[in-house]
């Protein structure tokens, strides 16, 4: 498990080392914000998987968001 954590940490640090300085120099603050907002959940989720923590399924969140919309569209448009 230690090796897995080390390799994941190394991979994320490599991604940060390659991307962040370029984004800061070019003053691409929106891109840096998007990179950070996508990387942080990925880091947390990957550590959770390695440590066998009970994690929520991201698909459940997507279904809970779009299922009411799909049901409403079905009411308006009729069943397929």
* Angle, CA of 7, 59 and 80, to the nearest 5°: 150
Q: Is the pLDDT of residue 79 over 80?
A: no
Mean pLDDT of the region 68-80: 86
Which pLDDT score, from 0 to 100, does residue 1 have?
A: 86
Cβ 19 vs Cβ 35: under 8 Å: yes
Residue 66 CB-half CA count within 13 A: 6
- Whole-angstrom Cα Rg for the chain: 19
For tokens 């994941």, what's the residue?
Answer: 8
Query: What's the whole-model pTM score?
Result: 0.71
Check if the beta carbon of residue 53 is closer than 8 Å to that of residue 62: no
């Amino acid at each position: 498990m230690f090796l897995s954590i080390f390799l994941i940490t190394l991979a994320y640090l490599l991604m940060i080392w390659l991307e962040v300085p370029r984004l800061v120099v070019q003053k691409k603050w929106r891109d840096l914000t998007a990179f950070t907002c996508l990387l942080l959940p990925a880091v947390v989720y990957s550590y959770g998987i390695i440590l066998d923590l009970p994690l929520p399924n991201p698909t459940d969140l997507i279904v809970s968001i779009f299922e009411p919309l799909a049901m409403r569209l079905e009411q308006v448009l009729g069943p397929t």
